[in-house]
Amino acid sequence: MKKDIILCGVGGQGILSIATIIGEASTEAGLYLKQAEVHGMSQRGGDVQSNLRLSTDPIWSDLIPLGETDVIISMEPMEALRYLPYLSKQGTIVTSSKPFVNIPNYPDEAALMAELDSMPSVVKLDIESVAKDAGNARGANMVLLGMAAPYIEILSVEQLRKAISVIFARKGEAVVEANLKAFDCGVAASQA
């Protein structure tokens, strides 16, 4: 089994934390993992994306070819659309429904949502509101990871939960629990 995932968003939204958690879960599960990252400048709200390739068999390249991404996981809807050429015909987009307007010529929100809605498989949610309701305003990225968990398939929800516990352990139990709660809210939203 193989899963090719593009994580994307704007600098400072927590994309690299999601990549670290998926990487930890993959390593613990004994999967082959390749990762390629492009870092934007969080101070300027630049594009941040990461290619993650997970497989039960060896992987030779860390870059995902055009048209072969299984899941685009995006903290920002415009960023999800930026990577459409990489999405496979059977692929799924999991994204925040709330734009992060950080440029003066940001596309019209209604047009942006219409384009997303025209895609065959899109899951979207106001992850920031869900995170706030869960008591963790900074946990929107964990809500998004929870939403995406059923589409990652090669890793289970429990494997991802365990990786969250490992990655955030040094920050204390309260931070671990807050992030797990946000993640669980995302999982519940994806099943609703």
Q: Which two tokens stand for residue 113?
A: 């949502």
Strand ranges of the sheet holding 2-10, from the earlier edge strand across to the other edge: 32-38, 47-55, 2-10, 69-74, 87-96, 122-125
Output b/e per residue, 64-98; b: 16+ Cβ within 10 A. beeeebbbbbbbbbbbbbbbeebbeeebbbbbbbb
| pTM for the predicted model, two decimal places | 0.93
Q: What is the pLDDT of residue 51?
A: 94
| CATH number reported for the structural domain that contains residue 72 in this entry | 3.40.920.10
Q: What is the pLDDT of residue 39?
A: 61
Q: What is the pLDDT of residue 40?
A: 58
Strand 47-55, strand 32-38: pairing? antiparallel
Residue ranges making up the domain that contains 61: 2-191
Q: Name residues of the chain where pLDDT drops below 70.
A: 38-45
Q: Are the C-beta atoms of 119 and 99 separated by less than 8 Å?
A: no
Total number of domains in the chain: 1
